[in-house]
Amino acid sequence: MQPLQLSSGDVTADRRADYARMLGEGGDFAAAAELMEQALELSPCWAAGWFQLGEYRLKANDRDGAATAYRQVMALDPADVFAASLKLAIIGAGEMPQQPPSRYVEALFDEYADRFETSLIEKLDYRVPKLLASMIFAHLGPQRNFSRVVDLGCGTGLMGVELAGNASALEGFDLSSAMLAKAAEKGIYSLLGEADLSCDADSCGLFGERKRARADLVTAADVLMYLGNLSGVFSLARELLAPGGHFAFSVERHAGPQGFALAHSLRYQHSRAYVEGCLGENGFLPMASEETVIRKDGGKPVSGMLFIAARSS
């Protein structure tokens, strides 16, 4: 992936953006927005600058102005690496996308890879891999050995570490090449590859010449909150699993009437009814579920759900 153009390429525009940042850090968001407007007069095609203007305007309670800025970001960057479409949905100025922009997710985790484990485990009390592995062995047998495990959205390999001792073969797939490089350092995966879980089964990068129905366990630990509609990834998991195989995953819990919703964190939350309905529609029988705290965000607990489902014959 090409690096993000965080600089405007114009020294004066960048200087004004730096002054705007200092004003923003001091809490004067209206003044920060005014300086960003001046910077963008000098560099009107600077997508990152327009996004930052949207952020300052939003914090200054100018939602209409923020929406205008975010729409300009999308006009300049149709791939939406800054997730302006998600920001528009959050402020009620656009429809909620069924999935986040793939470029946004890729860039987010490429940038996050070097500090991912430190941030999650030491600062956010992240526990999903251990909790999900414990649930797997409690329901499928403590001595269970899997012939092949496919770890979807493997990240740096935290879920893989929990399962490697019980897997004859362990495959990991992720959208971020930087995260895959970190996973490779652990030396536990027999296969690592790039895959976009928001795509359909034939174009996501998980098949190619490899056979379908090759795994007896598929996992997705702390991955599905970066997807809205889960039907595609559930269908993918079914195609990866041999008959009688199992799918273990986590979601952030949504308590509202919708099946799924976009949170202010720009992560998706899913309701129990939606998850169970989607499993059934894609050929899975729910076996077990558990509500738990999956991490902290801003010092507050994030509620989630863990599931194990069996692939029907």
- Contact yes or no for 215/280 (Cβ under 8 A): no
Give dist(CA 56, CA 177) in Å, integer. 31
Tens of pLDDT along 133-170? Answer: 999 999 999 889 999 999 999 999 999 999 999 999 99
Tokens in use for 114? Answer: 């070097």
Residue among 189, 193, 307 nearest 253 (CA): 307
**pLDDT of amino acid 139:** 94
pLDDT for 48 equals 95
Q: Are 287 and 310 in contact (CB under 8 A)?
A: yes
Order of all β-strands in the sheet with 149-152? 191-194, 170-174, 149-152, 215-220, 241-252, 300-311, 284-297
Q: If you average pLDDT over residues 256-283, what whole number do you get? A: 95
CA torsion 229-230-232-235 (nearest 10°) is -150
The amino acid that residue 261 corresponds to is: A
Does residue 27 register a pLDDT over 80?
Answer: yes
Strand residues in 153-280 grouped as ranges (E): 170-174, 191-194, 215-220, 241-252, 260-262, 268-270
What's the confidence (pLDDT) of residue 203?
Answer: 64
Go through the domains of the chain in sequence order and give each one's CATH number: 11-95 (1.25.40.10), 111-311 (3.40.50.150)
The yes-or-no verdict on residue 34 having pLDDT over 80 is yes
Please tell me whether the overall predicted TM-score, pTM, comes out greater than 0.75 for this model. yes
For range 108-130, the mean pLDDT: 80
Helix or strand or coil: residue 262? strand
The pLDDT of 123-134, averaged and rounded, is 87
Secondary element (H or E) of residue 105? helix 102-112
Separation CA 172–CA 222 (nearest Å): 14
Instruction: Give the mean pLDDT of 51-68.
Output: 97
Check residue 99 and give its pLDDT.
Answer: 92
Residues 6+ apart with CB under 8 A from 139: 287, 288, 308
Q: What is the dihedral of CA 114, 70, 254, 298, to 10 degrees?
A: 50
How far apart, in Å, are the Cα atoms of 184 and each of 174, 187, 192?
12, 6, 7
pLDDT at 115: 80
Instruction: Tell me the average pLDDT across 39-57.
Output: 96
Confidence of residue 4 (pLDDT cuts 50, 70, 90): very low
Spatial separation of the C-alpha atoms in residues 272 and 35, rounded to whole Å: 46
Q: What is the mean pLDDT of the chain?
A: 91
Structure tokens at 259: 């099946």
Mind listing the pLDDT tens digit for each residue in 163-222? 999 999 999 999 999 999 999 999 999 999 999 888 766 667 676 545 677 899 999 999
For helices 63-76 and 47-59, angle between their N-to-C axes, nearest 10 degrees: 170
Poorest-pLDDT segment among 41-50, 200-209, 212-221, 239-248: 200-209
d(CA 119, CA 261): 25
Arithmetic mean of pLDDT, 284-294: 94
* Mean pLDDT across 99-128: 83
Q: Which tokens is 246 given?
A: 């199992």
